[in-house]
Chain A
């Protein structure tokens, strides 16, 4: 059984990084709102990046969803994990899910919204 101390540490680390990403995301959105960045589809490259990023995020989400199978037995319901524990497990999973979600959103926004001023002509 995984120690709850380790799980709480993982959760704390994930929340810290997620918070940092959230701050960067707010800064990014404020630039978009201020008209300093705008959306650029980036053609086939944009589609490939979107598909790869979504696949990676989906892959992570899938494995998080199936973590109880690894920890206990195949098909363990989340409700049972909540009762059996360890107590830090749900916190770690929640923090990891938020981190992955935040990282995915940040990566997408960062990639598809490009600088209007200071960028090259090609980028515009």
Chain B
């Protein structure tokens, strides 16, 4: 009897182990692929992509070549993205989101549209939109590229030290991307470093295969930027809006200074679907652009699209008080701006933890110490996003530490084959703009 009971318990444990396993089987393709204008190399936990716009391809050809390269490197790419879209959009929401994306298209930069059209040419879905058919249609690849504008927001945080607070004397910036990676780890499987080479400019995006906007990125003028959502609860409308991830790419491509890039993004004539924040850094300083264009501010005054620095006055009850440093979570803090900070624990807790952890590092913060700050978690493992207060939490899919002056880039990517984030994030040093080849 006892033997039977023990046998039953062992069988149950084995069943639960199989059922609860969070290991993901990753389908791998060619470890390296190159064709005119595009190269892609599997670096183990991310893809190193180079899009060479000087190769003489049209934007559409470039998009198509990128699409072909993606399918060589990740043969099940279409199934991954299609299932990711299906997980984020119910049958009911799916057609509405496609219509939203359609609303954004007229405002999109023609070059980017051509690139996306080219990507669509490489995929098998054609013009037929079917939710969950394991194919990517033209509209679905638009949808994927406009995800932050028409589907879901990213969460994230940003922190940077400069001047006397930096051990190097120049800026050290860190940012976490807290985004749902998909129940089969779809996003971590396609995480990549995408270098875009133009005649007179280079751009680096820490992003995803087939995503041509900028979530986190920088140019060779040493301007670093990362987006952070800051929803204020105002009604959503997609009519006449632009994509802020694509606009940020354009800003980094077409400007040479942080001030100009920032000014481009806060242009009052540009409307976006979601209120957001952009952390900007250059070798000397960092600022936080609070891009609130729909909500109202204090005393029902008009909205704010303003830059916050370490000295800026903040809304009542919110303090920073750390010179030569700026930080942000998913909330507006500037005095007079809409207060979406204090009502949300997930903002207040992370803000407090960010401040405390940074202050504990003293007056002279190194890159390693900044990593410690953005890796903060209260317990042994990263906690839930909404209530743990952990900067490094269960939703964190990327952590980036960047030093603009030396173009030193270190990134933690969630391992492709594991859904649960590891207890300790491991950063990889990533050479950018062909640093390994010399200047």
Binding site for B on A (CB under 8 A): 1, 4, 73-75, 77-80, 82-87
Contacts and interface: CB of A to CB of B under 8 A. Distances in A.
A85 B384 contact: yes
B388 A87 contact: yes
Interface in B361-389: 383-388
A87 B90 contact: no
B93 interface: yes
B388 A75 contact: no
Contact of B387 (A1, A73, A75): A1
A72 B71 CA distance: 34
30 contacts: A1-B386, A1-B387, A4-B387, A75-B87, A75-B88, A75-B89, A75-B90, A75-B91, A75-B92, A77-B87, A78-B183, A79-B87, A79-B180, A79-B419, A80-B180, A80-B183, A82-B384, A82-B394, A83-B180, A83-B385, A83-B394, A84-B386, A84-B394, A84-B395, A85-B383, A85-B384, A85-B385, A85-B386, A85-B394, A86-B386
B249 to A, nearest CB: 27
Contacts of B91: 75
B90 A85 contact: no
Contacts of A82: 384, 394
Contacts of A84: 180, 384-386, 394-395
4 tightest A-B contacts by CB? A85-B384, A75-B90, A79-B183, A83-B394
A84 B345 CA distance: 13
Name B's interface SS: loop
A92 B287 CA distance: 42
A74 B180 contact: no
Contacts of A79: 87, 180, 182-183, 419
Contact of A74 (B93, B383, B387, B419): B93
Contacts of B92: 74-75
Contacts, number: 57
A106 B387 CA distance: 36
Contacts of A78: 183
B387 A85 contact: yes
Interface in B83-104: 87-93
B98 to A, nearest CB: 15
Contacts of A77: 87, 180, 183
Nearest to B395: A83
Among B89, B180, B385, B387, residue most surrounded by chain A Cβ atoms (within 10 Å): B387
A84 B385 CA distance: 5
Nearest to A74: B90
B33 to A, nearest CB: 31
Nearest to B379: A87
A1 B345 contact: yes
Nearest to A78: B183
A1 B180 CA distance: 18
A82 B345 CA distance: 17
Contact of B384 (A73, A74, A75, A86): A86
Contacts of A74: 90, 92-93
Contacts of B183: 77-80
A86 B388 CA distance: 8
Nearest to A4: B387
A82 B22 CA distance: 12
